Structure 1
């Protein structure tokens, strides 16, 4: 955008007069220097910094402003900088407009001429020096004056650099690039913690306000988490500040890794991900821009507590463990003012520390009670297996065309001592937050082996059984070991279907792990992509060869009210047939669901319409036979 003073009188010249003026009046570049070689231009480009740093990644987007009373100088400079790779400019040939323009849109660097009518460059520098914001704008002076006192005066008043006209364009490009880089690095240092490299408290306060504004518009909840290292002061006193700093660096890396695993997940909004910051002393903070419920926040906080626990040992001394505590304030429940929410999170952290190390507390008493209940459940899950509170059940998978039971779906259920039944996603999340997911999966394989042996001993014909496993929680090689152990216990590979969730993880695994999936298939195990349409998509069919896809149950939940879901289901069914994959519909709970799927030629399905999950013994008695021809499901209204 070009700003000009429309009130300034302009004298019209004849063609000869204009030519004479151009040949006698100095321009910003010497004659013949307005064009330089392509190679030299590349060297000036903001993308070609020899010193690369995250703080200078966006130099080409920096706003460059130029104030010069000669329009030709402005046009030549902008043409040159555009060719060098810069994108954004503002300018004016009316110096009296320069300061208002900068207050309206702050430039990253100012190119300033000194000798101008009405308002000189020195006048502009004086005004900028007295302004708390403008005084930080880097200024490169460009002038035809050769008076050394003028140069010293400009530098004294805050100019960062000084170039005499005519300017060598290569030098100008390098001065601009280096000035922008130094300014960007200065801004980086002002917003980041020197010990850990994390964004600091100053940036945290600014971005809390941004997160609250977005949450207000979208109408969702979020949270501020303050994480404090327990007893860091005693460690500094006993072992020295250097040891304390090393611990803070280790904890910051572990917290950063934990926070990054939530990017793009249920704790993220459309434009914001959870972000970690470091305050002074022993404290960190996390902005959670979106929180669907206390269960998701509690699971994340529990993982934070585990990841923030570090151990260290000094020579000749016993191993020490350092833990952390967490305080949480939730918006909008605990307020929508950044200062109040920050204070509330700090109060919650203080109360958590007073209650003992390695704890967390919500500022809201109601949320705190619910979250503490979830934390207690996570702790109790570790003992649930030894107390025989976990059971492995089976629900039938049905061939929709005939109604015959063709496979079984394993279901884990926790009968809590309080009488509460915990299963499905809630049990999966609890297992993940308490690091019990792999142990629970191993127990599930062992129980399946035991049930299969019992069925075979009774002379019953086995059918394939599906077991769900998340690749986000277990490596393919470990899954392969569990599957091989099941076969060693007497089960046939063709009777075990490994139903894989979060299969997108496989793209980031080492090649040997990817090869493990192909090896499992060669051994005869069936592979299924679970929750198709939710944690997996069409793209994953290219990265993982499988035998079947299981469609997320939510597709059927609103089938009657959403024509889009109907179209999507038809498309998925057609895709599976073209790829010769078995297509399994999950969540068939009504006769209307079944009628739609049968009408459109779906292969198989499972859901409560076909019966509740049964124990291994009850399932065998109800569905398995010695002949190998399984029983047919009787739907509501049908008789034997």
Structure 2
């Protein structure tokens, strides 16, 4: 920045002499012959230092500097005068607030030194002012940031409070807050002698909705369920979402057990009306477990555990009902827990085995395949049916390693049958949802078949998938099915007609067979509706160039209907129950299961 110096003296030779002297120090020199001219220059230029004579016409140096002080307070003010009496100096200091009072004649070096010092003083004051402005601006910025941070912290605290205590999908209290409110309700009930009722409500088969319609629809359904439940509770009661499809209630003010039962029934009926979610009319049922304090427990942990036990009992009783907790339920829960422990060791102890149920072609009457069905040889209870342990395998995730064992065992059996001159026999294996969603499923299956040495390109292996399973993540399902199909693995849709599949999607799936669910076959001869459904499924399958197989065929009347409707294949107890591989092999070798007429 240029150092601008203003010299004011009514004698031009003085200003010229001063200018010559001080210009060597690099200053930008401005001159004026009067105070009035000097003030005009100051209005047009940013002057760092002004040096003025004291005695001048029209306006004295002190009068000039007084105006400079008032209008240009940053400018450093100096007097260079031939009058050095004390009164003149005092007047200059008091009125003009001068930085230095110098006398004529001057000493060149002393004058230069004083001017340099004056500019340093000016620049230091300017820097101080600049820093002061920056500090003030920084303080204002800091204050604004502090205010914004305080608002963000407050908002974050509120969000944390929401996350910690409330469910993000339904906005209901979560398990943590529910337990806290239940604890308060128990303390209040102890004072007023009233009952506290704890209920655990679980939506029946909610997993099927997620798998068939997708999680976004499932989440919206949970929100709609929450709205209905909230509308049905009283002030002071709490309903919370405490699990995937679990809702817990802490209800106060009841005087008798029957009131709790009436409330549970009210919840069941409330949820029985259909829900309309994204164009889908969805029907759901629920199972409720009820525990009552103080009879079933006096603390939150015991009451919640007992309500959960009662809820599982309600599911075992056929779902869509409520059950009060009883002591006898604990024995059943303990047995299930023990069964899970033994089941976890069953694979390494080689306790699983496969049974096979024949599938017969209605055109040739010959066995064209088998369905592989898992059984468990319990070390104490003997042979156990799938319904007793498959749900536990799925809940614990054990279905994945056990499912791989099933694939390996079935492939090994196919290999053995092929060596016995049954090369065209096809074996179907059921895949669970957990298995199917594994990354690289086709590679896993290929590795297993390669280890066994089975030529899977011949179509000897078939995988069965439920209708609801394939409708979850349709694009991902198509990619996986294509990969399996390209390997030569046959694909069958099991339980067809019980899910939510769309014809537009069904056309895109690379599948080979539709399997009619036995619930439609069971009443074929007595239910016109079931007969119409079966006929429609067969027609649909054939229009898509798919084979159709009916399961659960147990009577000749059912067989006659399926033959008349041109169903391709059948399986069921009319021909054979599931049998161990050795027995199936013996019957195949003896030719006893080759024709329908021999069934």
TM-score, reference length from structure 1: 0.46
Q: Which has the larger radius of gyration?
A: 2
TM-score, reference length from structure 2: 0.49
